[in-house]
Amino acid sequence: MVFGGSGFLGQRLCMQLLTAGYNVRSVSRTGRPKGIAQPWWSDVDWISADVGTDTATPAIAGTDLVFHLASSTYPSTSNLDAAFDLESNLVGSVRMIQSAVKCRVRRLIFISSGGTVYGLPRQNPIPENHPTEPICSYGIHKLAIEKYLYLFRALKDLDSLVLRVSNMYGDCQNLERPLGAVSHFTHRAVNGKPIEIWGDGSVRRDYVHVDDVVRAFLKSISYQGPEHLFNIGSGRSVSLNQLLDLIRRRVDTQIVVKYLPPRSFDVQENVLDIGRAATELDWRPSISLEVGLDRLIESARSTSPRT
């Protein structure tokens, strides 16, 4: 079962689970995935429902593994209505966790946010035992779900793992959503559109390719070690200005950049310590930002209206 299986990460995960021999069911608000139809879509049981609702809950029955990828908000919008953020994400997630206990799910794997749960870093790279003091509602609801998973692991013996993922990118990312600087910048550069940056461009982030994230999820299925929480990122810090330079060299064209006032919830630097994932999951990122950008640019050019 993949909650959020029709999304950017979810589709890739569903496809790889099918390849690994699993029977796959997806629950999402839209039901069927967006984009150009793929042959493997017919092998997935697509269900349209919100997490934790009467429609979604019965779908867990008979499921061995549950992946929770769904979220109704984004870091940049969650503070606009913190009550909605909590109501639409936390309450439904807790109901879903309760259903997983009743249905005797073998393992629940949750995607948390390595970019927001830590808040203002006291050190970089950031280890998993770093204090968690999020400064946006999105990070708070992710952290709260982590705590409920801990509660149900301790009291109800529900096996669960949490992957705190950094800034994810890759082709086929939904460019209408207010997240994903790498994909957004690349798409706009290829299509000759101006790029907006909040602040002076010195903010540094940890960018990880979606295919590497999927590999981490697959590794977590069979993990039998003592840990329950893992940072998943590149382990590399890149500023927005450096990202622009990497894109500019590859598209070889003039890029118009508009710098806007900084946002209060943007931390200056965030890069994850991924040593635990390397040791315990035998996972390391395999796609560098440079290679990922080459793939993105090729994909953006193939879909550009100018081609």
User: Which of 267, 210, 268 shows the shortest CA–CA distance to 75?
Assistant: 267
Q: Is the bond preceding 305 in cis, omega lying within 30 degrees of 0? A: no
**Number of helices (H) and strands (E), helices first, in the chain?**
9, 13
Q: Is 107 helix (H, G, I), strand (E, B) or coil?
A: strand
CA distances from 143 to 70, 115, 268 (A): 14, 12, 21
If one counts every other C-beta atom within 10 angstroms of the C-beta of residue 224, the result is: 6
CA pair distance 160, 116, nearest whole angstrom: 21
- Are 259 and 194 within 8 A, CB to CB? no
Which one of 22, 74, 118, 138 is the catalytic residue?
A: 138
Note if 207 is an active site residue.
Answer: no
Residue 168 makes CB contacts below 8 A (sequence gap 6+) with: 8, 9, 180, 207, 208, 209, 210, 213
Catalytic residues: 138
